[in-house]
Structure 1
């Protein structure tokens, strides 16, 4: 077969092969990988079926006309994410690249927003905690298409401190971004006595709000350590002596105002019977639980959260991920 005959055979009848291409396989590969046309569009141009174009693209790879390379940085992060899933029994993990420490919260929020947006379906009820990272997720989330029947619910009580990333603000912002019904929890995070908590939670409006919290099928939350500069201490939810007491009893992390030790077990204390919000045993019953957290100062807290099985999905940065995977750290 002559070259001209072969070129004609490689494209549809009545179609002319451009002079710069050797055959239809090369032309199809160029249109797909360089011009970034769809396989359907290429099929129309070449006068062939889409199935034939698929075969042409496969032949282009087999003949070495096309070489597909994955960026080593991306490949490394994918490998680390898979190791995180295996080590901690996660359903999913997203690891972002290294960057400026000052922008870590924003970058984690953007990644968490992308992951969460992919998970949300029509009719979902999304539980929202609080904190800088959760706020960054809420601020950057957007859905590819409008979904009906979405509800965003606050899962921890309110606090007058840190209003810029309070539970009610995080909840309100996310509901606005995804055009969902917003339900704020109409109670303080910490009450003065256990008796007051029992009385308040028996109110019909709060009973209904907690029923909604218990129907949550997706939860997004962050993790805090309980060192001297931690967010939970600056929120003035309780006294410094209260936090010191939990720390003295082995607490290394705070998870939606609940304290856990290195193994992920809850550390009980005087505040628990006065705290308003989702309990840890309720949290783990939520089908999808997205933890968004990173930074060297939070490695111990994040590991405790993973050890306790509180997350089904983790969004973190590469440095934190590598420390989480390291033994004895």
Structure 2
């Protein structure tokens, strides 16, 4: 279609700027270069939005526009789809290879983007703890305010690593998205099972756990079982207690709960004293966003995915490739 036909085809008179010889070229420029919306372009040119859609389609057919996908982006998209297929995920986001920015920081930024896309009005969002969860909370912002949001702490508190403690992660997240904040008013580990039963019978904690169980979305990371695991450094349990779980086959820690390589729970004496969401309760949350990466965490992440504890995953490309091996 030549310029005269492009202008006559809509039955309207279009006054073209001097630098454009037909309306199709003008519309394509405004859309792909100036990045205006189709509605804004329609108003500027003086035609309907449907006409702009036709113009953009014609621009591609005439070769005026060539859309190319970066090979790295295409590769990461393909890997993300393979992760979804292999582990039955609803969504996966794979970030590029490492640059000078720390991996935890880059995972946090990507996790924040995906979480912001997932959040809906009225959601109750369970938040775990750890460096990666804190990074997500630190980066998140919503494109527009959403009413009725609640952020609830799903794990008891500890005195170790206050920089990314459960209560701090929850408070930061709620502040960033302007949500109601509910912290869990109990330690992560109590001295006896009897004390746990007694404490959880308190009315205030009964109500808090009702809120945890009503969460329709949860954000969590994955811990390995090695010497640098957060479970050890946070002093939630002593080294001998954690070593016993490892000896019984644990390879990963999910919100202070242990699982083996196939994603099955590994239980022990700590479970009877631990305060927080349990693995069967985690699996009941409709939308479960796991943000984790790094070669040393691959066995733990794989176990988490095999156990079906995540519906959405954010990881890096090197980790993703190892998960697919």
Is TM-score (shorter-chain normalized) higher than 0.5?
Answer: yes
Tell me which residue corresponds to 2:20.
21
Tell me which residue corresponds to 1:53.
52
Cα displacement (A) at 1:107: 0.7
C-alpha separation in 2, matches of 1:304 and 1:87? 13
Tell me which residue corresponds to 1:290.
289
C-alpha separation in 2, matches of 1:212 and 1:45? 50
Are 1:85 and 1:91, in contact at CA under 8 Å, matched by a contact in 2?
Answer: yes
Are 2:4 and 2:22, in contact at CA under 8 Å, matched by a contact in 1?
Answer: no
- Give the 3 Å change call, closer, same or farther, for CA 45–141 of structure 1 in structure 2: closer
Cα displacement (A) at 1:181: 1.1
- Give the 3 Å change call, closer, same or farther, for CA 18–204 of structure 1 in structure 2: closer
Tell me which residue corresponds to 2:225.
226
Cα displacement (A) at 1:28: 2.0
5+ unaligned residues in a row in structure 2: which ranges?
Answer: none
Cα displacement (A) at 1:235: 0.7
Tell me which residue corresponds to 2:62.
63
- Give the 3 Å change call, closer, same or farther, for CA 7–185 of structure 1 in structure 2: closer
Cα displacement (A) at 1:47: 3.2
Cα displacement (A) at 1:312: 0.5
C-alpha separation in 2, matches of 1:190 and 1:300? 26
Which piece of structure 1 moves more, 7-16 or 172-181? 7-16
C-alpha separation in 2, matches of 1:38 and 1:311? 35
Give the secondary-structure state (helix, strand or coil) at the position aligned to 2:144. coil
Cα displacement (A) at 1:179: 1.1
Which piece of structure 1 moves more, 309-318 or 139-148? 139-148
Which piece of structure 1 moves more, 92-101 or 180-189? 92-101
Cα displacement (A) at 1:5: 4.9
Cα displacement (A) at 1:246: 0.5
Which piece of structure 1 moves more, 62-71 or 293-302? 62-71
Cα displacement (A) at 1:27: 2.3
Tell me which residue corresponds to 1:241.
240
- Give the 3 Å change call, closer, same or farther, for CA 163–15 of structure 1 in structure 2: same
Superposed CA deviations along residues 24-46 of structure 1, whole A, max 9, x for unmatched, are 22222222222223323333343
C-alpha separation in 2, matches of 1:85 and 1:62? 33
C-alpha separation in 1, matches of 2:48 and 2:127? 48
Tell me which residue corresponds to 1:204.
203
Tell me which residue corresponds to 1:307.
306
C-alpha separation in 1, matches of 2:241 and 2:96? 37
C-alpha separation in 2, matches of 1:112 and 1:144? 15
- The question of 1:169 aligning with 2:168 is answered yes
C-alpha separation in 1, matches of 2:131 and 2:37? 41
5+ unaligned residues in a row in structure 1: which ranges?
Answer: none
Cα displacement (A) at 1:245: 0.6
TM-score by length of structure 1 reads: 0.94
Tell me which residue corresponds to 1:135.
134
C-alpha separation in 2, matches of 1:4 and 1:280? 64
Tell me which residue corresponds to 2:85.
86
TM-score by length of structure 2 reads: 0.95
C-alpha separation in 2, matches of 1:17 and 1:155? 60
- Give the 3 Å change call, closer, same or farther, for CA 25–308 of structure 1 in structure 2: same
Give the secondary-structure state (helix, strand or coil) at the position aligned to 1:69. coil
Output aligned runs, 1:31-46, within 5 Å. Answer: 31-46=30-45
Cα displacement (A) at 1:212: 0.7
Output aligned runs, 1:251-262, within 5 Å. Answer: 251-262=250-261
